[in-house]
Amino acid sequence: MPDPNRFAGKAAIVTGAARGIGAATAARLAADGARVLLADLSPAVMATAAALGATGLTLDLNARGAGEALVQAALEAFGRLDILVNNAGIGGSKPLAESDDELIDRFIDTNLKSVLRVTRAAIPYLARPGGRVISVSSTFGIAGYPGTTAYAVAKAGVAQMTRQMAGELGPEGILVNAVAPGVIETAMTVGHLGSEYYRRAVLEPTPLRRAGQPEEVAAVIAFLASADAAYVSGQVIAVDGGWLAARHPPREAG
């Protein structure tokens, strides 16, 4: 359950916060007492932020200097930065043989390079000790899944960035972790969840036999941001209903 004193006095940035996991994470951090800056390419982020009594910022994280602009906005609003949640990203992708340069660039730029740039911009200002960087990877960044190459490679890069930065920032008291969601019921996945083939191929092999909810991912992110995770760093925690650990064979078609 949310604790309004958990992050009292602390400030957080959540990217990709207009909807889905990002919006749920911003709501959870706010409910736990943090002051939160929600950033997203979509102007809808302003309404999401207003509903939380938080601060919103419409921003293209692929633009040069966007990371610095984002961090500066947080510093101007809150005067400090304790928690950075790198959630912004896009889904989809194709087999590599069918992926043109534009598609590859789009996934690598949005899902990996923007995370590197935002994190780089935040590093000088994160609280020491006690700062947190939490990024959203994917189960597809851990285990191979055909037909998602550019997406999966970018998310695997986020997982490796997490391990690298845990080593670089740990001596300064900054913890760096990631979550790797499985099938989560969001606007990004609703089309897939309506597909019988997708449900048999991806959802039914999940031991819990259901899609996760954004709030379930947000709860793990809040844990990683909290004092309860004070000795956890460099980890990529799957929030996937057991999909990586023990996949069930799908039922026969028909």
Active site (catalytic) residues = 151
Q: For residues 213 and 185, is the Cβ–Cβ distance under 8 A?
A: yes
- Distance of alpha carbon 139 from alpha carbon 95, whole angstroms: 17
Give the number of other Cβ atoms within 10 Å of residue 220's Cβ: 19
In angstroms, the CA 122 to CA 73 distance is 11
* CB-based contact 62:40 (threshold 8 Å): no
Best CA proximity match to 151, nearest among 188, 196, 200: 188
List Cβ neighbours of 174 (8 Å cut-off, separation of 6 or more).
123, 126, 127, 128, 129, 130, 131, 132, 133
Q: Report d(CA 252, CA 230) in Å as an integer.
A: 46
